[in-house]
Structure 1
Amino acid sequence: MTLLRHLAGGMGVAVGLTLMAGSALAQDCTTKIGTVLPTSVDWGRPIAETAQFAVDQVNAAGGAGGCKIEMVLRDTQVDPKVGVDAAKALVDLEGVKVLLGAVSSGVSMPILTSVTVPGGVMQMSCCSSSTAFTNLAEEGKTEGLWFRTFATTAVQSAMGAKIAQDKGYGSVAILYKNDDWGQDMARLIAADFEAVGVAVTASVAINDGQPSYRAEVTEALGTQPDALYLALYPAEGTAAVREWISLGGTQKMILANSLKSDEFRENVGLQYLGETVGTDTASPRSESADAFRAAYVERFESEPNGPGLGNSYDATMIALLAMEAAGKDASGADIAAAVRKVTDPNGTAITADTAGFTTAKEVLAGGGTVMYQGATGNVRFDANGDVSAPAVIWSFTESGTEEVEYLSLDEVDSFIASLN
C-alpha cells in the first residue's frame, strides 16, 4: 500500500505535505526496536511481516519520537533459551527500549523476568496468553512494563468447553505442551470441561523434541474419550495426531489456535480433520478491523487468516504510538507509561494507518491523548496489561480455515461468567 494511495483516500494533500516533511526530518536519526518471534515456523513469519508492515506505515509518517524506526528481528525458534539469548542481544547490544514478542508464553515469560524487567524495557506481546502473566502483574513483578494484545487463555479454554458442550461430547482427553502456556491451558480447560459436565479422562503432557509420542498418545487413547483436546504447536501436534489416528483415535478433535496452521493441516492431511474444529480470539466486527483486512490484502495479496496477525499489527502500532507520546530518548518505563495516552477511551479517535499516526503526532504534540482503533478494535489494557476479545470457532478447508461461529465480546464474557 503506497503512501500516495493512503493520502488519496484519507487526509488529502495537506497531510501529504506534512508526511513528506516529517519523513525527511526522520532520516536524521534512527531508533531501533527489538522483535523476537518464531520466524522459523510457518505461522511465525507472517506475524513478523505484519509487525514490519506497521513499522513501514509509521516510517511513512516520519517515524516515531522524531526518528525513523528500524525493527531488528530475531528468531526464537519457539525455544525459551534461544528467545532469551535473542532478547538479551537486542537489549544489551542493540540498546532497544521496546521489545515486541514473543509468541509462546513459555518463551515470553523468561524474557520478561530475566531480560526486559531487569533491563527496564517495555515488552509488548502479540500472542502470549498464559494467565501466569496476570498473576505476575498483580504481584507487581512486571513493574508496568508488560502488555499483550492477545486475550488470556481463559477465552480459548471457555470456547473449547463450549464446543464440547454443543457437540454433546461426554468425555475428552487432553494433550498439552509441557510449558507455561500448555500447563495453563490444560488446567483451565479441565476446569471448564468439568463446569459444562464433560469428563476429562486423561491430561497428558507432551515434551519437545521426542522421537515418538506413542506412549503419551496410548495413555490418552486408553481412557476411551469421546474427543481429544490439543493445546500443542504444529511440530509436536502433527506427530501426536499422526500417532493418534494410526492407533484408531477419533477424528473428533478440538484445537487451540496454535494449531491453526497450514503446516499442521498439510502434514496431518485434511482427510483426517473432517470432524476437527478449533478456537481463536477474533477481531471485532468493526470498521477498524475491516480497514486492517483491506490494507493487509493490498500489502500481502492474501487474507489475514493466520493466528496473531491483527494482534501483531496492533502491538506494533501501539508500541510506536507510545514511543511518539514519550518522546525522543525516552526510557522503557516512560514508553510503557505513555501506552495509556494512546489507548485513552476519551482521546481523539485515530485510524490504524499512516494518516492516523500523523493525526496522533499532532494531537500528542498539543498535549492531548488518542484512542487507537486497530485490527482488533479499540484496544483497552487493564491494570495488568491484559485485554479481552471476541472469539471464533473455525474448521480447516483445502485452502486454509473457515469461520464456523463468531462470538462477540459480550457473548464470550457471558459464557465465561456462566462457567464460574
Structure 2
Amino acid sequence: MVENDTRNRRSVLKVIGATGGAISLAGCTGGGGSSDAFTLGTLAPQSGGFSASGPSVVQGDELAVKHINEDGGVNGEDVEMIVRDTETDPNAGVRAARELIRQENVDALSGAVSSSVGMAIASMANQEEIPYIGGIGSAAIVNADCGPYVYTNNPSTYIVAQGTIPYLINEQGSQSIYCITADYTWGQTIQKTYEEIIPANGGEIAGTSFAPFGANDFSSQISKAIDSGADTLMMTLWGQDQVKCVNQMLQFGAREEFENIAMAWNSIALNKSMDSVEGIYAGGPYYWGIESDQNQTFVESYESEYNEKPPMASGMQYGSTTTLLNAANDADSISADDVATSLEGWTNDPYYKGGNQEFRPCDHQNVSDWFVLQGTAESERSADAEYMKVIQRRAGGEVVQDCSSACEALPAWS
C-alpha cells in the first residue's frame, strides 16, 4: 500500500467548486465527521471543454449520497463528499485526484467524463490503491492499466456500436452507412468498432469523415456523406459538436437524403439545442423515460431536488456511486481493498433501470441494458423534455464484447 496517510479521516464535508471555495452539502453529512465515515471524492469538469457536464456529474453523486445517508449511510455512518474540478485536462485531473487522496483522505473516487482525463486518473488510482469508478468516462479507463481498483459504469465503444447498429440494419433496413466521427481517442476507437460490427451485421461502410473536437463547420463532412449515396448517416460526436452537426445537416436538407439518421448519444440539453430530433435515432445506457418503477422513483426524486429531468450523465453518476456505496456496505468496511473486492462481480437490480447489472471480474466493465431511442415530433411530446422515446431495450449480455477481447491481464481479486 502506498504510504500517503490516506486512511486518516476527514472532519468536515466540503464541496469545492472551480473557484476553490467550500460550502456545506446539506443532507449529506451527519455533522462533524467520523473516524468511520466513508468519504467520496467526486471529479467533475467544472471548466474546460466538457464543463457543461460538470453540474450533472455533481448532482448525480449528490443525490446518490443523500439517498444512501437517508437509508443509514455506509456502515452506519453518513457518507461525506468532496468535489474537485478536472478542468477537462488529464494533468489537472490527476492533480485534483491526488489532492483528494493525499490531502482530503477520500476512500474512493468517482467521475471524470473525458476519456483522456479518466484514463490518467485510473492509472493514478491503481498506483495509489484506491477504488475509482468512472461514471461516464470511456470504458478505456479500465483497459489502460488493467488494475484491480478501477471500474467503469460507462459502456465500452463496442457496446455503443453493438447496442445501436444491429437495430438500424436489422430493424430499419440500413445497408450502407456513412460515419461522421469525432477525431480524437473516443471517436477513433469507436470507428474501428464500426468497421467490425457493421459488416458483421450485413451492412457496409460507405465512407468516414473525421471532425476535430470543437469544429464549427461540418459542411464538408455532410457533403461527403450525401455524395456517398449511403442510405444511413451515423453521427458520432460529443457535446456541442453533435448539436452543430445535426443543425447543419438539417439546414442542408440532408434529412431527405437518408433513409435513417442516427447519433451515438442522447442528451436532454443537446436535444433541446437541436433544431429538430424528429425521427433521429440514438442509443444510450440511460434515459429518463425508461419505463420501470425504479426509474420513475429516481426521476421524481431528481426533479424534486433539481427541478429538471435527470440528464444521462446524472443518471450514470447516480448509478455508479450508488453501486459503489452499496458495495462498501456489503463489505462492511471502508478499506480500499475490501471495497474494490466487493465491487468485482457485483450483481444487483440497479438504482433506476429495473434490470440486472454486473461489474464482471474479467475487465470490471459494467454489463447492463442498452436503450435505442428515437426523436419525437414536438406535437407528440406529452411531457417536458420528452425529446426522445425508448423503442428498444437490449440486454447487457447481448451487446457487451467477449471478455477474451477485453482486459485479459486484469489481476482479479480472489
- Compute the TM-score of the two structures, normalised by the length of structure 2: 0.73
Letter matched to residue 391 of structure 2 = E
Q: Say if 2:118 is the partner of 1:108.
A: yes
Give the corresponding residue for 1:196.
201
Residue identity (%): 20
Q: Say if 2:98 is the partner of 1:88.
A: yes
CA distance in 1, matches of 2:60, 2:150: 21
Letter matched to residue 34 of structure 1 = G
Contact in 1 for aligned 2:333/2:339 (Cα 8 Å) = no
Distance apart, 1:328 and its partner CA: 6.2
SS at match of 2:367: coil
Q: How many residues matched?
A: 356
Q: In 2 relative to 1, CA 49–143 (structure 1 residues): closer, same or farther, beyond 3 Å?
A: same
Letter matched to residue 380 of structure 1 = E
Distance apart, 1:382 and its partner CA: 0.8
Q: How is 1:6-405 mapped onto 2 (pairs within 5 angstroms)? A: 27-29=33-35, 31-39=38-46, 41-65=51-75, 67-76=77-86, 78-113=88-123, 115-130=124-139, 132-133=140-141, 135-136=143-144, 141-165=145-169, 166-250=171-255, 252-257=260-265, 260-270=266-276, 273-282=277-286, 287-304=293-310, 306-325=311-330, 330=335, 332-340=336-344, 343=346, 373-376=350-353, 377-383=355-361, 384-397=363-376, 398=378, 399-405=385-391
Letter matched to residue 282 of structure 2 = G
Q: In 2 relative to 1, CA 329–302 (structure 1 residues): closer, same or farther, beyond 3 Å?
A: closer
Letter matched to residue 207 of structure 2 = A
Give the corresponding residue for 2:19.
none
CA distance in 1, matches of 2:295, 2:251: 41
Distance apart, 1:169 and its partner CA: 2.6
Letter matched to residue 204 of structure 2 = A
Contact in 2 for aligned 1:173/1:227 (Cα 8 Å) = yes
CA distance in 2, matches of 1:186, 1:277: 18
- Compute the TM-score of the two structures, normalised by the length of structure 1: 0.72
Query: Please, which runs of 5 or more residues in structure 1 have no aligned partner?
Result: 1-22, 346-370
Distance apart, 1:124 and its partner CA: 0.7
CA distance in 2, matches of 1:287, 1:409: 18
Q: In 2 relative to 1, CA 162–340 (structure 1 residues): closer, same or farther, beyond 3 Å?
A: closer
Q: In 2 relative to 1, CA 245–79 (structure 1 residues): closer, same or farther, beyond 3 Å?
A: farther
Distance apart, 1:229 and its partner CA: 0.9
Give the corresponding residue for 1:413.
398
Cα distance per residue 1:390-412 (max 9 Å; x no partner) = 222223344343324122417x7
Distance apart, 1:294 and its partner CA: 4.5
Distance apart, 1:276 and its partner CA: 1.1
Give the corresponding residue for 1:18.
none
CA distance in 2, matches of 1:207, 1:268: 20
Contact in 1 for aligned 2:162/2:197 (Cα 8 Å) = yes
CA distance in 2, matches of 1:217, 1:389: 33
Cα distance per residue 1:62-117 (max 9 Å; x no partner) = 5335643222223445444443343233234323231102223333112212x211
Q: In 2 relative to 1, CA 329–261 (structure 1 residues): closer, same or farther, beyond 3 Å?
A: closer
Identify the range of structure 1 (47-56 vs 294-303) with the bigger mean alpha-carbon deviation: 294-303
CA distance in 2, matches of 1:24, 1:375: 26
Higher relative CO (Cα under 8 Å, sequence separation at least 6) belongs to 1
Give the corresponding residue for 1:365.
none
Q: In 2 relative to 1, CA 314–218 (structure 1 residues): closer, same or farther, beyond 3 Å?
A: same
Structure with the higher helix share, 1 or 2: 1
CA distance in 2, matches of 1:125, 1:267: 27
CA distance in 2, matches of 1:414, 1:209: 30
Q: In 2 relative to 1, CA 246–25 (structure 1 residues): closer, same or farther, beyond 3 Å?
A: closer
Give the corresponding residue for 1:19.
none
Distance apart, 1:261 and its partner CA: 2.3
Letter matched to residue 253 of structure 1 = I
Contact in 1 for aligned 2:160/2:264 (Cα 8 Å) = yes
Q: In 2 relative to 1, CA 66–239 (structure 1 residues): closer, same or farther, beyond 3 Å?
A: same
Contact in 2 for aligned 1:149/1:379 (Cα 8 Å) = no
Letter matched to residue 101 of structure 1 = G
Contact in 2 for aligned 1:97/1:120 (Cα 8 Å) = no
Q: In 2 relative to 1, CA 178–74 (structure 1 residues): closer, same or farther, beyond 3 Å?
A: farther
SS at match of 2:79: strand
CA distance in 1, matches of 2:296, 2:155: 20
